[in-house]
Amino acid sequence: MTDTFYVTTAIAYPNGAPHIGHAYEMITTDAIARWARLEGKDTYFLTGTDEHGIKMVQTAAAEGITARELADRNAARFKELAGRLDVSNDDFIRTTEPRHHESSQEIWRRMAASNNGDIYQSTYKGWYSVRDEAYFDEEELSDGEDGKKFAPTGAEVKWVEEDSYFFRLSAYQDRLLKLYTDRPDFIAPEERRNEIISFVKAGLRDVSISRTTFDWGIPVPGASGHVMYVWVDALTNYITGVGFPDAASEQFKKFWPANLHVIGKDIIRFHTVYWPAFLMSAGIEVPHRVFAHGFLTSEGKKMSKSVGNIVDPHEQLDLYGTDPVRWYCLREVSFGQDGDWGREKFINRNNSDLANNFGNLAQRSLSTIQKNFGGALPEAQPTEAEHAIVATAIAAIGKMDLAMKTQQIHEAAGELTTLLNAANLYFADQAPWGLKADLPRMGTILATTADIVRRAAIAAQAFVPASAAKFLDALAVPEDQRLLSHALSASGVPAGTVLPPPEPVFKKFEHPKAV
Ligand code: ME8
C-alpha cells in the first residue's frame, strides 16, 4: 500500500489582494507537498480562501460592493497567485461553496449532539477584534487614545453583546493536555508547543460560536438568525476538502486525519486548541501535526497598509520570476522563525546559490560534453574522487529527506547548496577542460558531474520545480525516473545517451545602483 500524505495551508481571508506572507505560506507548503510526492507518497494538497465573517462584510461595504463580489474578486487573485508560484495544490477550496456549507452544518450538528450537548445558547458580552476575527479577554488588552482598546495583535477591539451559541471548550482542557503529552509531535516548533501547553493549563473559557448581528456566514442548523462564527467554518475546510460529510468516502478514509496543517504563528491557538476540541467533540480524528511558521517583514519592518510597505508577490514575480522567489522563501528564512523580505539579500541568494552554484555546474559540465563528446554522455570509469563525490551526493540527499520530514525546509535547501558547492569544487579540482589528451578521464569527470546534477535536480524539484525540470530534460532523464529513489540509486542516465544542447537556466541579477 502506498503511503498517503495530506497537507494544507491556512485559507486566507480574501478581503484584499494576497501579500508576500501568503505567497510564503503557499511556497513552503508546496515544497513539503512536492517532497512527499518525490518520496512516492500519494499526496493531497489543499489551499483556498476563508470568505465569511464580519471583516469581509465591512471591507465590502467600504468598497460599495457585496461580500460575495469581494470574495469572488479576491479569491480569483489568490488562485492566480498559486498558479504563478507553481504551487501544486490538488484543490482550491472556497468556504462559500455548497459542499462546505453542508460539511460545516454537519460538524455543528455532531458537536451539538455530543456529550449531551457541547453547544449551548447564552449571551456573549466581551471584546472582539474584526481584523483578527477573534475574541479577547479584558486582561489581554492594552489602552490606546480616546478610550480605544487594542488586542495583543495591535488590532482595535470593540465591545459586543449578542445572543449566541457557545462551544463548551472548558470541558476539553484535560483532553487537550493529554493530546499534547501523548503526541509530542502535534505542535511544532517546540517553542509554540510550550506556549500552547501553558495557555491551556491556565484554563479555557467556552467560546462564542455564532453571530446574530450580520448574516454573511453559514446558517446554524435549526437556529434562524444565527450564522456560525467564521473560525468554526474556516477550520472545517480541512475536512470538507477531503469529502466530509461523506465520512465513508474513499477520499476521506484515505486522507483524514491530515498529516500536516501549515499555518502562521498568529493562528496557532485556533489550530491547536479549538480545532482538536471541535473534532473530538464531533467524534472525528484530530490531525497529526500543526506547524506554525513565522512572519515575513519587508526590509526589516513590519508590513502594514498605513506604512505602505506591503510586498506584492506579483511585483516580485515580474521582477525575478518564480523559482528565485521560491528559493528565497525556502532557503533564506528558517522555517518556523520570522524572516525578512529584503532586496539585497534576495539578489545575493539568487546569484550565489542558483546562478553561480547550481546553474554554473550544470552549464559548464553539459557544454563541455557538447564540445568534446558531441553531446553523447560519456562513460564513467570512477576513481576514488568519483566514488567520494557520489557518496557525498547520496548522503546530502538523505539529510535533505530527514530535514523535510520535520519541516526543516531551510536546512534541506542548505544541504542542496552544500552538495552543489562540493560538486563545483570537485569539478574545479579535476579540471576536465584541460584533459583533451586524456578523453576517457575527461569523460569520467563530466559524466560524474552530470550525474551529480541529475541527483541534485531530482531533489530540487520540490524547491525550484520548473528549473529542476529544465536540468532533468537537459540530462535526458525520463519523466518516470525523477523520484527520490532515483536520486539515491546507484545508476543514472546510461552512457551514450545523446543530450540536447544546454540552455542557461538561472539568471544573475544586478544590485540596483545607489542613488
Ligand atoms: O488568518 N508573513 O487568514 P489571513 C507570513 N483566514 N505569513 C503571514 C503573514 C506574514 N507577514 N501575514 C499573514 C487567516 N500570514 C484565516 C486562516 S485557516 C482555517 C483560517 C499568514 O489571510 C497567516 O499566519 O489573515 C495565515 O497562516 C495565512 O497567512 C493567512 O492569513
- Pocket flag, ligand 1, residue 261 (CB < 6 Å): no
- Pocket flag, ligand 1, residue 93 (CB < 6 Å): no
Q: To test the ligand 1 pocket, which listed residue (49, 51, 263) has its Cβ within 8 A of the most ligand atoms?
A: 263
Which pLDDT belongs to residue 205?
95
d(CA 366, CA 345): 29
d(CA 447, CA 368): 10
CA 10–ligand 1 middle distance (angstroms): 7
C-alpha distances (whole Å) from 297 to each of 205, 302, 310, 311, 383 are: 33, 5, 9, 9, 49
Q: Do domains 4-118+168-293 and 353-498 have the same CATH topology?
A: no
Strands (E), 252-342: 260-264, 290-293, 296-298, 339-341
Mean pLDDT estimate for the chain: 96
Class of the CATH domain delimited by 353-498: mainly alpha
CA 323 from centre of chain: 15
Query: What 3-state DSSP class applies to 80?
Result: helix
pTM, full prediction: 0.97
Q: Taking 90 as the threshold, does the pLDDT of residue 70 lie above it?
A: yes
In residues, how long is the chain? 515
Which pLDDT belongs to residue 486?
98
- Taking residues 198-206, report their average pLDDT: 97
Among 406, 331, 447, smallest CA distance to 455 is for 447
Write out the DSSP string of 99-158.
HHHHHHHHHHHHHHHGGG-SEEEEEEEEEEETTTTEEE-GGG-EE-GGG-EE-TTS-EEE
- Taking residues 257-267, report their average pLDDT: 98
Does the domain at residues 4-118+168-293 carry the CATH identifier 3.40.50.620? yes
CA 88–ligand 1 middle distance (angstroms): 19
Which stretches within 158-310 are classed as H helix? 173-182, 190-201, 230-240, 250-255, 268-269, 275-282
Residue 301 marked ligand-binding: yes
Our CA dihedral for 482, 406, 200, 155, rounded to 10 degrees, sits at: -70
Which atom of ligand 1 is found nearest the CA of 265? 24
C-alpha distances (whole Å) from 91 to each of 50, 105, 255 are: 14, 21, 13
Query: What confidence tens digit (pLDDT) does each residue in 368-415 have?
Result: 999 999 999 999 999 999 999 999 999 999 999 999 999 999 999 999
Which pLDDT belongs to residue 306?
84
Residue 301, strand partner residues:
298
Q: Taking 90 as the threshold, does the pLDDT of residue 343 lie above it?
A: yes
- Pocket flag, ligand 1, residue 266 (CB < 6 Å): yes
Q: Which residues of 83-93 are buried (b: 16+ CB within 10 A; e: fewer)?
A: ebbbbbbeebb
Q: Taking 90 as the threshold, does the pLDDT of residue 271 lie above it?
A: yes
Query: What confidence tens digit (pLDDT) does each residue in 76-124 have?
Result: 999 999 999 999 999 999 999 999 999 999 999 999 998 778 999 999 9
- Pocket flag, ligand 1, residue 296 (CB < 6 Å): yes
Which pLDDT belongs to residue 515?
65
C-alpha distances (whole Å) from 498 to each of 219, 440, 495, 503 are: 63, 17, 9, 15
CA 45–ligand 1 middle distance (angstroms): 17
Write out the DSSP string of 339-407.
EEE-HHHHHHHIIIIIIIIIIHHHHHHHHHHHHHHTTBPPP----HHHHHHHHHHHHHHHHHHHHHHTT
Which pLDDT belongs to residue 491?
86
d(CA 186, CA 192): 11
- Pocket flag, ligand 1, residue 106 (CB < 6 Å): no
C-alpha cell at 161: 453583546
- Pocket flag, ligand 1, residue 340 (CB < 6 Å): no
Query: What confidence tens digit (pLDDT) does each residue in 276-295 have?
Result: 999 999 999 999 999 999 99
Which atom of ligand 1 is found nearest the CA of 271? 19
- Pocket flag, ligand 1, residue 234 (CB < 6 Å): yes
Query: What 3-state DSSP class applies to 243?
Result: coil
Could you tell me the residue ranges of all domains in the chain? 4-118+168-293, 353-498
- Pocket flag, ligand 1, residue 25 (CB < 6 Å): yes
Q: Taking 90 as the threshold, does the pLDDT of residue 481 lie above it?
A: yes
Q: Taking 70 as the threshold, does the pLDDT of residue 39 lie above it?
A: yes
